[in-house]
Amino acid sequence: MIRVYCFSGAGHSLSVAEAIAGAAGAELCEIGGDTVCEGGTAAVVFPVYCEDVPRPVRGFLRRSSPEYIFYVAVYGGISHGNALIRAGREAMRGARADGRPVPVTAGGAYIPSGHSFLEEHAGAASDSEEPCAGQTARLIAERLREPRPAETGREGGPMRRSVFAGLFPALRSRAGVKIVRSELCDGCGICTAACPLGTCENGICGRRCIRCLRCVRVCPRGALTGRTAPFLERWLRKKRHECAPRLFL
Ligand SMILES: Cc1cc2nc3c(=O)[nH]c(=O)nc-3n(C[C@H](O)[C@H](O)[C@H](O)COP(=O)(O)O)c2cc1C
Ligand code: SF4
Ligand code: SF4
């Protein structure tokens, strides 16, 4: 049984996961607070946040025990650090702590995509964007159908982790991006239910907010806007570069 598990804030990882699930004919499952994977082959698709694995994905990897895992890290064209290796480590730690067999790594991919903080309407992945072009999705799907052990690149590779990556990442994101609620909000609670950190109260973001921008994406009334501070926007535009997907099979 193949399943594609996905965590996505602004929707980029979701479109990658949909492409892979479509190519593999696999079920797509959203990673939520208690999602768990037991047995079978899993592709785990997640965004790179501050060169790391988002907290909800770390929890999912620690409690899951598929036989094979293929890791897919979607990033904004700045730097992916060692996100694949860090994801593999979480799965290994969880398994060892519970005395379960460590899931076998079946491969990995770094896939460049739009940057959540640079979209014209931050939080909405543009329709024209095709971050996981057919060929990459097909190669990943082939490996999922016939999994075998693989490496996910060496730590400190071409994009080594920056020394600032681990420095109060949530605080830095909050300082650079504000989420503004307009009078269009009718208090429906959809964003509250969708927040992966349980820190959104009808469009008001609490202290645990990681600026994933999911609340912005799901609001049916367009009442939320993510505003990137000019200093951050300038820095991101300068740092961003054209890059191709990197596959480890
Ligand atoms: C909090 C946060 C931190 C991010 N950190 C990085 C980063 O370190 N390097 C990078 O290239 N992109 C970074 N990005 C951009 C995302 O990796 C990219 O936009 C990704 O496609 C988002 O996927 P999602 O829409 O599924 O959440 C970050 C985005 C957010 C929201
Ligand atoms: S989803 Fe939008 S309209 Fe509904 S409570 Fe949240 S901000 Fe308000
Ligand atoms: S409140 Fe923060 S953590 Fe929750 S969905 Fe919105 S941006 Fe993400």
- The tens digit of pLDDT for each residue in 125-148 reads 444 455 567 899 999 999 999 999
Burial of 212 (0-12, 13-18, 19+ CB in 10 A): buried
Cβ-based burial of 120 (10 A; exposed 0-12, middle 13-18, buried ≥19): exposed
- Quote the CA–CA distance of 166 and 187 in Å, as a whole number: 35
Q: Whose CA is nearest to atom 4 of ligand 1?
A: 49
Any ligand 1 atom below 6 A from CB of 91: no
What is residue 129's predicted lDDT score, i.e. its pLDDT?
53
Q: For 169-239, CATH number? A: 3.30.70.20
State the pLDDT at residue 121: 47
Q: Which atom of ligand 2 is nearest to the CA of 203?
A: 7
Of all atoms in ligand 1, which is nearest to the CA of residue 118? Answer: 19
Domain ranges of the chain: 2-162+242-248, 169-239
SS3 of 248, please? strand
**Per-residue confidence (pLDDT) for residue 126, from 0 to 100:** 45
pLDDT in tens, 59-73: 999 999 999 999 999
Residue whose CA is at the smallest distance from ligand 1 atom 17: 75
- Report the candidate in 187, 170, 176, 175 with the shortest Cα–Cα distance to residue 221: 187
Mean pLDDT of 219-238: 95
d(CA 213, CA 231): 19
Dist. CA 89 → ligand 1 center (Å): 20
Q: Does residue 84's CB lie within 6 angstroms of at least one atom of ligand 1? A: no
* Predicted local confidence at residue 122, as pLDDT: 46
- In the predicted model, what is the mean pLDDT of residues 96-107? 96
Give ligand 2 pocket residues (Cβ under 6 A). 181, 185-191, 202-203, 219, 221, 223-224
CA distance 216 to 120: 13
pLDDT tens profile 165-207? 777 777 788 889 999 999 999 999 999 999 999 999 999 999 9
What pLDDT, on a 0 to 100 scale, did the predictor assign at position 174?
84
Tell me the pLDDT of the chain averaged across its residues.
91
Rounded distance, CA 28 to CA 54, Å?
19
User: Residue type at 86?
Assistant: R
pLDDT in tens, 233-248: 999 999 888 889 999 9
- Fold that domain 2-162+242-248 belongs to in CATH: Rossmann fold (3.40.50)
Mean pLDDT of 19-38: 95
Q: How far apart are CA 11 and CA 111, in angstroms?
A: 14
Read off the pTM. Answer: 0.94
DSSP 147-175: --------TT-TTPPPTTTTSSHHHHHHH
The rounded distance, in Å, linking the Cα atoms of 225 and 123 is 8
